Structure 1
């Protein structure tokens, strides 16, 4: 037999709030026109002391006008990889009201060749985005000197 306390617990749930706050005026947000523009922004926002030390995965969130809403640092990992949780990427995109995103990660080795894991995660993120009407525009692999763009190479 259920007690009164057990019956009342069903309504004790956490409140969920979707909030996106910015102090950057829409006209002052960076405008993305090319993979080179993404790379330049990425390099400005990557720690130069760690770019060749461990792998990081970041997401550039964009509005309808290809203006940057923000950069979400998804994860930091080890020398040869980092965890990419697709649910977290799209939670950030939805929270920011993004309509497009560009994913990017560094290769501490300096190699710009996309691994099979890089290709698989790109495909999964692209497919998930299609379900949510959030377009994956590109995936950049970066090093301090250069970058590889999936879109520019026709690999997207």
Structure 2
């Protein structure tokens, strides 16, 4: 019986040369990799994967949802981060409404993801909620 491997791949043209040193640099990186036509239309979740020195390994588009929600599967996030041999990660999602305040669900999910990632020695550095005009960092605001 042949068993297939699930293949997750990424193209890293910069080999860690792009550094993420702050929530602002993570926001700018995310915004450059977001479809500006849909940022105010539907919620989307992406994971910024980083090496030990916070150099960019890749950005993974996790899910696209509706106008007010998107699915976040912790097992899928961790499987991608492990396959990419990431040491650190930042979760980013948009609120199409433009309201950057995290929901209680956002905060609870972030804490669950941080705990799960820690078990496989991956650090969740931040969770950003973004719009075209700005961002909310759970770390900067003391929510993580």
TM-score range, shorter chain: over 0.9
Deviations 1:63-109 (A, max 9, x none): 01100100000000000000001111011100100011000000000
SS in 2 for 1:132: coil
In structure 2, the residue matched to 1:152 is 140
SS in 2 for 1:102: strand
Structure (1/2) with the larger helix percentage: 1
1:21–1:76 distance in 2 versus 1, CA, 3 Å: closer
In structure 1, the residue matched to 2:125 is 137
CA shift, 1:26, in A, is: 2.3
In structure 2, the residue matched to 1:24 is 13
Listed as ranges, the matches of 1:23-102 within 5 Å are 23-26=12-15, 29-102=17-90
Q: Give structure 1 regions of 4+ aligned residues with deviation exceeding 6 angstroms.
A: none
Aligned residues: 144
Residues 1:112 and 2:105 aligned together: no
What's the Cα RMSD here? 1.5
1:113–1:66 distance in 2 versus 1, CA, 3 Å: same
Residues 1:126 and 2:129 aligned together: no
Q: Which residues of structure 2 form unaligned runs of 5+?
A: none
Deviations 1:32-62 (A, max 9, x none): 1100000001110000100000000000000
